[in-house]
Amino acid sequence: MKLARIAVHLLEPELRVPFTTSFGTYTRLTRPFVVLETTDGRRGVGEIPTLTDPGYKAEADTPAVLTSLREFIVPSVVRAQNEGGPFASVDALRQSYAWIKGATFAKSGIEAAYWDLLAQEAGQPLWQLWGGERRSFPVGVSIGGKTVEQVLSLAQNAVDLGYQRLKVKIWPGFDVDVVRALRERFPDILLQVDANSAYTLDNWQALQALDDFDLLLIEQPLYDDDIVRHAEISASIRTPICLDESIHSLRDTQSAIQLWRQGSSLDRLIINIKPPRVSGFSEAIAIARACRAAGVRTWIGGMLDTAWGKAFNLNFNGLSEIDLPGDHFSPSGAYFIQDLATPLSAQDGIFTLGDGVSTGVEFDWAAFDQLGRQLHEERFA
């Protein structure tokens, strides 16, 4: 497969319902997309699920990703094929930009577009290409509300839609009360919380009260760039700790596994695998396998991705190494006012993968053009 052109687009999809986290409320998003075109006219598309600012983590914001792509990653990919010929594999593609430190979100968009091309060429669904062996699995929703009433209303909506697992955003002062209210209303549901690094070593103790509510996990309570302190507090809290922000690679995952093995216990460590946060699906698959081998549970996180990005993640969930329900759906029905594909849907909280090629959904090029514009393009020699 020979690449002819690479383009970066910027879209502005709008959420139907604002999403609140410990670091801010989001309604209008800005989203870079990578389009790879082959010499025979095939196009592959990769979404980069940035937020507008670095409130979630460094290099996960739109300006940083656009700069990395334009200045370093796109020129590296073009140079590599021009000088060395067509990429023989996804690994060869990744090698072309491996010298660039960080920029995991930006890199993941190139890799996703390439996987889309490979799947189209093979005439296969992504889940098959990735060795997935599980067609059906339970899925969940992530709830970002500002008040207990808002959270309860979104949770009720999600439960009425059939979802059997809820994740709720918390922060200091908005934790025990919201969890208690959810538990009272939904005594048997799989329930987990996400703090997005809002607590510190001085106030995380408030989270010990959550041990009474039979939570599946507490996601990223402490600093976004820390693994060690999370391992330390994990010994003093019964509820498992889940790492999101602080895992960028298989190596980070191995560090966490080593720390939990030495300290508390591996059943108190859970990893949220977000493919863009770890530079793409190759690394994400390696992380899923390493965690399974160590007895550490995993699930697939989201970033308010459009139906295109969500479809990639649902295919990834077809791997039998993934243990727990992921953040694949919106608690209010659909995330976006206008989307890039008809969103895949679950029945009674269970999603089933189909036989459709690549993502399994049809990319809506007209919506793509309506929602944004091309910022940058380079042609291969």
Which residues here bind Mg ion, judged by CB under 5 A?
194, 219, 244
Binding flags for ligand OSB, 230-269, as an x/- string (CB under 6 A): --------------x-------------------------
Residues 36-65 that bind ligand OSB (CB under 6 A): 56
Return the sign of the alpha-carbon dihedral for residues 150, 154, 160, 162: negative
Half-sphere exposure at residue 55, Cβ-oriented, CA atoms within 13 angstroms? 14
**Could you tell me which of 191, 196, 199 has the C-alpha nearest to residue 166?**
191
Least separation, in Å, of the C-beta of 141 and ligand OSB?
7
18-45 core/surface letters (b: 16 or more CB in 10 A; e: else):
ebbbbbeebeebbbbbbbbbbeeeebbb
Catalytic: which of 57, 167, 274, 310?
274
Give residue for tokens 């577009």: 113
Strand partners, 328: none
Tell me the residue number closest to ligand OSB, measured at CB: 302
Nearer to Mg ion, 47 or 194 (CB): 194
d(CA 108, CA 104): 6
Strand partners, 338: none
Binds 56, which of ligand OSB, Mg ion, none (CB < 5 to 8 A, cut-off by type)?
Answer: ligand OSB
Nearer to ligand OSB, 97 or 140 (CB): 140
Catalytic: which of 57, 167, 169, 310?
169
DSSP secondary structure, 239-296, as one string: SPEEESTT--SHHHHHHHHHHHHHSS-GGGEEEEE-GGGGTSHHHHHHHHHHHHHHT-
Question: How far is C-alpha 81 from the chain's CA centre?
Answer: 29
Binding flags for ligand OSB, 314-333, as an x/- string (CB under 6 A): -------------x------
List 22, 164, 192, 196, residue binding ligand OSB (CB under 6 A): 196
Binds 59, which of ligand OSB, Mg ion, none (CB < 5 to 8 A, cut-off by type)?
Answer: none
User: Residue 224: CB partners within 8 Å, gap ≥ 6?
Assistant: 56, 57, 58, 196, 197, 245, 246
142 binds ligand OSB (CB under 6 A): yes
Least separation, in Å, of the C-beta of 313 and ligand OSB?
9
Q: What is the CA radius of gyration of the chain?
A: 20
List 302, 318, 343, 360, residue binding ligand OSB (CB under 6 A): 302
Binding window for ligand OSB (CB under 6 A); candidates: 3-11, 100-108, 119-127, 301-309: 301-309
Nearer to Mg ion, 227 or 341 (CB): 227
Let me know if 167 is a catalytic residue. Answer: no
Q: Binding-site residue total for ligand OSB (CB under 6 A)? A: 11
| Active-site annotation, residues | 169, 274
Q: Kindly list the residues in this chain that would bind ligand OSB in the complex (CB under 6 A).
A: 56, 142, 194, 196, 244, 301-305, 327
